[in-house]
């Protein structure tokens, strides 16, 4: 058992102090994440400690900097929400793969929306969270490349990156956030709209390069 924010595995430790300290640390990280999921975009040490059932001094013994606690909560959320190694069935037709990706990301992004708001709020005081966002963006881009590997591999090399750029934007978190936060669409309507847009973008992405001479 390795808890986010703690560098060693203590599952076999016989030292009660180490095990107890790890449980407190885990509780603080989970409490922080619970508050974030509930809509608190910048949970305070006092509230975190109170809900976790420990004095604020104990919190700062485990996390001398609040930024470290924020980073641990962010990392825990990412590890639960995003699986970079989940296999993709490339034999599934393009249209169905597109629909599946939209459905998968709509569900994941909706659950992760409070964490995104939190990350945007605290990245100035917790630079590691900002770096975590950048890393997550790269992971999401790589997953798009895996999802559409068959079609991307069929393109000329010079056309591949622009097409991947387009798909990365089309299936990125900002697309979902725009529909939910700015357009105020319900999750169901946002998912339906996203699928319609994505199918159109995917169709253009894998036909326009050949027709327009981008890859010529």
Q: Do residue 63 and residue 104 come from a single domain?
A: no
The per-residue pLDDT for range 157-209, each reduced to its tens digit, is 999 999 999 999 999 999 999 999 999 999 999 999 999 999 999 999 897 64
* Boundary of a domain, candidates 77, 100, 125: 77
Q: Using pLDDT thresholds of 50, 70 and 90, give the confidence band for residue 8.
A: very low
Q: Do residue 92 and residue 26 come from a single domain?
A: no
Q: 151 lies in which domain range?
A: 83-212
Calculate mean pLDDT across residues 8-15. Answer: 49
Ramachandran region, residue 29 (left: φ > 0; alpha: ψ -120 to 50; beta: rest): alpha
Q: Do residue 43 and residue 133 come from a single domain?
A: no
Q: Do residue 160 and residue 140 come from a single domain?
A: yes
**Cβ neighbours, 10 Å, residue 118:** 26
The per-residue pLDDT for range 129-170, each reduced to its tens digit, is 999 999 999 999 999 999 999 999 999 999 999 999 999 999
Is the confidence at residue 105, as pLDDT, over 50?
yes
Q: Do residue 96 and residue 72 come from a single domain?
A: no
Is the confidence at residue 3, as pLDDT, over 60?
no
In angstroms, rounded to a whole number, what is the distance separating the alpha carbons of residues 199 and 118?
Answer: 31
54 located within any domain: yes
Q: Do residue 100 and residue 199 come from a single domain?
A: yes
Q: What is the pLDDT of residue 16?
A: 63
The overall average pLDDT reported for the chain is: 88
Smallest CA-to-CA distance from 73 within 23, 129, 19 is with: 129
* Boundary of a domain, candidates 61, 77, 93: 77
Which pTM was predicted? 0.82
Calculate mean pLDDT across residues 57-84. Answer: 94
Structural domain count of the chain? 2
27 located within any domain: yes
């Amino acid at each position: 058992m390795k808890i986010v924010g703690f560098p060693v595995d203590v599952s076999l430790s016989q030292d009660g102090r180490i095990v107890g300290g790890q449980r407190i640390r885990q509780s603080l990280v989970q409490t922080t994440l619970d508050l974030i999921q509930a809509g608190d975009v910048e949970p305070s040490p006092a509230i975190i400690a109170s809900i976790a059932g420990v004095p604020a001094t104990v919190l700062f013994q485990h996390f001398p900097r609040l930024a470290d606690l924020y980073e641990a909560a962010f990392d825990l959320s990412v590890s639960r929400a995003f699986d970079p190694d989940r296999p993709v069935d490339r034999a599934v037709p393009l249209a169905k793969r597109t629909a599946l990706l939209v459905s998968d990301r709509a569900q994941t992004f909706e659950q992760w929306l409070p964490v995104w708001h939190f990350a945007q709020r605290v990245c100035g005081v917790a630079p590691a969270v900002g770096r975590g966002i950048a890393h997550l963006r790269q992971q999401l881009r790589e997953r798009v490349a895996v999802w559409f590997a068959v079609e991307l591999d069929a393109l000329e090399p010079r056309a591949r990156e622009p097409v991947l750029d387009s798909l990365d934007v089309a299936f990125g978190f900002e697309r979902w956030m725009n529909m939910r936060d700015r357009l105020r669409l319900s999750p169901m309507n946002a998912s339906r709209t996203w699928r319609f847009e994505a199918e159109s973008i995917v169709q253009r992405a894998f036909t326009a390069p050949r027709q327009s001479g981008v890859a010529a």
